[in-house]
Amino acid sequence: MPCPHPAVPSLMMALAGWCPLSPAGAQTPQLLVEPPWRPAVLWDQVTLTCQGLGTAGDTTWYKDGQHWGQNRRDRLTVSESGTYTCDRPGSGLSLPVRVLDAPLVLQVPTWALLEGDTVTLRCRRWKDSSVTGVQFYRGDEEVRKSFHGTELSLSPLQSNHSGRYRCKGWVSSGVSKGWQESAPVTVTVHELFTVPVLEGHLEPIEGSLLNLSCLSTPSPLRRPAPLLHLFYRDGQLVGGPQVSPQLQVPAVGVSDSGNYSCQVRSEGGAVQKSSARLRVTVHMPVANVTITPGPLSHQVQTGDPVTLRCSVQVGSAPVNFTWLHNGQEVALGPVLELGDISVEHSGTYQCVATNQLGQDGHRVFRALSPELALEVTPQGHRGTVAAGVGGSLFFLVLLVAVIVAWHWWHRRAIRKHQERASPEPPAPPEEGEVLYTHIVSTKQAQRPPRVTVPQEPQVTYAELPRPQRRSQERSDIYEIVP
């Protein structure tokens, strides 16, 4: 029957698991059986108790769906077989309870059956008369055959024990002599807790805290008994048994990497369930070095203030920092103040971070930062370099100009040579132009021809009067032969 939402819900009822059915806070009645077996049998003098809100005088009983009378009592001693229910005003009917008066009955305890419990099913003949050759079945499958026993023990209970059971036995006396079979009864095994799931940070940094949680939901029907948790790494026990569902390693090392799993057990160990494996990889920390001022080039000038800082991702354990300059230890601490630096400060810098893991002091990690190259230049060095670059550029421009001029002069000389070799007579000089003549004089003789070595001719130059206007070009030189 669905539960309407009350205007003012009761916290106590919510904690007790009761179902509020009205604004007054009524609950569904619970029908208890004594002795606590189901189905009940008439020859056991069964007593039914109706529990719920309200007074005992408000109880109403029903048998096989019919009104059984309002006897103003919450307890009823059963005198007839049938199916019984009860209610309280405005609260609805309780769950039914069967009372049998059959020749053979199979009974199960009335309490909730949980994983790991031990339960006994008993096959009883009317008024506990003798029965032999009892056989037990779950569905159509025979579970057990016993010639002398009348009980079936299931221990420890597991979820696969759930099902509909019945028994069959030989009755050797009475009216019902022969084979008798009981009515089926349902056995429900409730899960004690769900399969656990292991959760946590999968890639911690060496030196940090590792916290793994084994999550498992207990059954709401579970009796108040603690569940035990165990933790494994690569199949080896590393934590537990313990009530706490958490595994904590204050400062993990690389050796703590592996496949982790957890297991949950009932108090007696009858029920145990394991989680899937979870891969945990512990990484070595890497130190980070920064420079101030930055993030400019690592080239600074003498006199500049420079500060180097070192940091590392670690846990809560203390970390020690050591500074190296060109491989030599120069300072301790996470900050290296170089102040007004000089050229001697040039070189490579590196910081080393160490952390002692665990209280035994035997596990220590050592993290190295990348090398930081620092170049210190004197003041004004950058201007000198700029001047040198400017001078080189000027020389390059001058060289290009000389090459261009040489090509121009060479082309002009070729053009003049072509003009000199032309067969056409030269044009007369213009007025006012200075003419230089090349005069060669030779003597004629009436002598027979002979081979002689020519003498060096004498050359004389005659200069014409200089005019008032000068021409822009010079005439060519002509050879005059008399």
User: Does any domain span residue 366?
Assistant: yes
Q: Which residue has the higher pLDDT, 301 or 272?
A: 272
User: Does any domain span residue 398?
Assistant: no
Residues in a beta bridge with 165: 138, 185
**Are residues 320 and 297 both part of a single domain?**
yes
pLDDT of 302 reads: 80
pLDDT of 433 reads: 41
Is the pLDDT at 279 greater than 90? The verdict is yes
The radius of gyration of the chain from alpha carbons, rounded to an integer in Å, stands at 58
User: Does any domain span residue 441?
Assistant: no
Domain boundary among 280, 311, 331: 280
Q: How do residues 124-139 score in pLDDT, each as one tens digit? A: 998 888 888 899 999 9
User: Does any domain span residue 27?
Assistant: no
- Give the residue-averaged pLDDT of 12-34: 53
Domain boundary among 362, 381, 400: 381
User: Does any domain span residue 340?
Assistant: yes
User: Does any domain span residue 308?
Assistant: yes
Share of the chain above pLDDT 90, in %: 34
Q: Alpha carbon of 127 to those of 37, 42, 43, 136, 464: distances in Å? A: 15, 9, 6, 20, 173
The span from the CA of 136 to the CA of 155, in Å, is 16
**Are residues 217 and 276 both part of a single domain?**
yes
**Are residues 234 and 299 both part of a single domain?**
no
What pTM does this model have?
Answer: 0.57
**Are residues 172 and 209 both part of a single domain?**
no
Closest CA to 317 of 464, 204, 171, 217: 204
Is the pLDDT at 321 greater than 50? The verdict is yes
**Are residues 329 and 351 both part of a single domain?**
yes
Predicted confidence band of residue 316 (pLDDT cuts 50, 70, 90): low
The answer for residues whose C-beta is within 8 angstroms of residue 387's C-beta and 6 or more apart is none
The span from the CA of 374 to the CA of 338, in Å, is 11
**Are residues 181 and 227 both part of a single domain?**
no
Domain boundary among 381, 416, 432: 381
Q: Minimum mean pLDDT among 172-186, 230-244, 308-322, 376-390: which range? A: 376-390
pLDDT of 41 reads: 96
User: Does any domain span residue 127?
Assistant: yes
Q: How crowded is residue 206: how many other Cβ atoms within 10 Å of its Cβ?
A: 25
pLDDT of 231 reads: 98
User: Does any domain span residue 41?
Assistant: no
**Are residues 305 and 377 both part of a single domain?**
yes
Q: Minimum mean pLDDT among 255-264, 323-332, 455-464: which range? A: 455-464
**Are residues 204 and 275 both part of a single domain?**
yes
Q: What is the CATH number of the domain that holds 167?
A: 2.60.40.10
Domain count, the chain: 3
Domain extent for 208:
197-280
**Are residues 183 and 204 both part of a single domain?**
no
Look at the alpha carbons of 233, 235, 238, 241 in this order and tell me if their dihedral is positive or negative: positive
pLDDT of 42 reads: 93
The bridge status of strand 189-190 relative to strand 197-200 is unpaired
Q: How do residues 44-72 score in pLDDT, each as one tens digit? A: 999 999 988 777 778 889 999 998 876 67
Structure tokens given for 325: 């300059």
Is the pLDDT at 403 greater than 60? The verdict is yes
**Are residues 321 and 359 both part of a single domain?**
yes
pLDDT of 363 reads: 62
**Are residues 186 and 204 both part of a single domain?**
no
The answer for residues whose C-beta is within 8 angstroms of residue 451's C-beta and 6 or more apart is none
Q: Alpha carbon of 260 to those of 196, 205, 256, 266, 327: distances in Å? A: 13, 17, 10, 21, 40
pLDDT of 208 reads: 83
**Are residues 319 and 350 both part of a single domain?**
yes
Quote the DSSP letter at residue 109: E
3-state DSSP assignment of residue 337: strand
